[in-house]
Amino acid sequence: MIDAYNNNITIFLTIITLIFGPDLTSELGMLSLTYLLNIALIEIGLNSKLEKISQKLKKYLRTF
């Protein structure tokens, strides 16, 4: 499920960035780009935390 979400958000970010990226003179373009970059950074952080927790869980389950 997370992989499907990652694929969807990546496609969405790519399309929106291609649409609004070149138009950095408008406020909508800058706000959209900033918002999407924040989403991407949050996603990267959450994926990192999820990976660490997943590794800890695998180590914990191996002990049983």
Token look-up 């399309």 returns 15
Residue 3 has pLDDT above 80, yes or no: no
Per-residue model confidence (pLDDT) at position 46: 86
How many domains are contained in the chain?
A: 1
pLDDT tens figures, 36-49:
778 878 888 888 89
- Please give the average per-residue pLDDT across 9-16, as a whole number: 73
Q: Which helix (H) or strand (E) holds 9?
A: helix 2-20
* Alpha-carbon gap, residue 36 to 46, rounded angstroms: 15
Per-residue model confidence (pLDDT) at position 44: 81
Whether this prediction's pTM lies above 0.75 is answered by no
Residue 51 has pLDDT above 70, yes or no: yes
Q: What is the DSSP string of 27-56?
A: HHHHHHHHHHHHHHHHHHHHHHHHHHHHHH
For residue 10, give its domain range: 2-62
